[in-house]
Amino acid sequence: MIIGNIGRGKKEINEDDKFNIILDKIAKKVNVSEGRRAVEDIIRIIFREQPISTKKIAQKTRLPLPIVAKVRAMLEREKILKRNKGAILTDLGEKLAKEYLKLRYRGSLICDKCKGRGIILDEFFKEILNKAEKYFKKRPSPNTLIDQSFATLETSVYRVALMCERGDLEGRRIMFVGDDDLTSIPAALTGFADEIAVVDIDERILRIIEEFSKEEDVKIKIVKHDLRKPLPNDLKDSFDTISTDPPYTLNGLRLFLSRGIEALGKEGVAYLSYSHKPIEEFLLVQKAINEMNFVISELIPNFNYYEGSEIIANTTFIARLIGKDLKPNIGDTEKIYTGLVKPVIRYYKCLKCGKIYKLLNERIEDLKCSCGSRKFRMVKREKL
């Protein structure tokens, strides 16, 4: 087999060398933090579960959707993949998987019932899900400038079920440090907690929770508050459990967990929902958590699912943190949102007339095309 020009002449190389060159080239061009391992993981998932959608590959590998899409496109160009109701391996791809990567196992070992969460919703929690549905339908469009991305109703109920299973709900005082996911609603519907409080800056979210509290005759303490400022004194050292889904930046994580520590005092349990990160970034996340004197007692990948949020393939992990002699560790309180830490220009194409719009600090939800349409598709992202 002959491949390319190497040096001044052509060199005959074997198939293993060819596969090695292809994988290295893709990893280098995509510039993914995990390197070749990420490319190999994508091939492994396709080998096991083909045909499979790009979004499912991203969820299984916990890689950003744009990275997976780029790798998939390059593998197609190399004749490793083709598409038929999802990504499937070509004959050459099967050879790469079986003979070069030594893959053997087909299928998935993830539980069909719990989808890897480790718990299921029984009739009690299914009834709560049904009761909560009408309030979740009232959520406004997310404010992406403050990193809002709403978790699904099912996700919020699963979070409460996990708290219950781990003993962090019954007879406990619980604070939601930010609650655009409305997780306080299913928590209140259980009737298990001694006290529930919600601290959030978005009046739209707080109004829904307040309406729910009146209609269902349950008590939730609602506090409009900018978490960049310390908690009010009456909320400090008053809770056993906190739950938070902060902005997916290191500063956002530090700030929201630190305000949670103010609510917990010296010890307590925190439920942290957070984006899957490349290893370099996750090491910093882990370090920040440790510096606050939390330990990660449990981490469940792909626990949370969101409406939209294609960049994170609609899914994040949940971690149960146990803390003792807790210490707040607040960093920069200004640059806590993704758009400020990693500014990106986004290009959107109107699905009706094709006109292209360039957005930096504007919300796509507020955009209206000159033709009257509000339906757009993102066609390009550009880092500043």
Mean pLDDT in residue range 294-314? 85
Place of tokens 């890689």: 63
User: Tell me, what's the pLDDT at 137?
Assistant: 95
Q: Above 70 in pLDDT, residue 97?
A: yes
170-223 pLDDT, tens digit each: 999 999 999 999 999 999 999 999 999 999 999 999 999 999 999 999 999 999
Q: Which region among 6-15, 49-58, 156-165 has the lowest average model confidence (pLDDT)?
A: 6-15
CATH of the structural domain 123-324, one choice from 3.40.50.300, 3.40.50.1820, 3.40.50.150, 3.50.50.60: 3.40.50.150
Sign of the alpha-carbon dihedral angle for 146, 331, 316, 241? negative
CATH entry, 15-100, from 1.10.10.10, 3.30.70.120, 1.10.8.60, 3.90.1150.110:
1.10.10.10
Residue 4's pLDDT band (boundaries 50, 70, 90)?
very low
Percent of the chain scoring above 90 in pLDDT? 73
Q: Would you say the CATH fold of 123-324 matches that of 15-100?
A: no
146 pLDDT above the threshold of 70: yes
Asked if the model's pLDDT at residue 312 lies above 60, the reply is no
Residue among 271, 260, 269, 181 at smallest CA distance from 227:
260
Domain extents for the chain?
A: 15-100, 123-324, 343-383
pLDDT at 58 over 70: yes
Structure pTM? 0.86
Q: What confidence score (pLDDT) does residue 291 get?
A: 97
pLDDT digits (tens, 9 = 90+) for 333-343: 878 777 666 77
C-alpha dihedral, 185 to 187 to 193 to 194, nearest 10°: -20
Residue 114 has pLDDT above 50, yes or no: yes
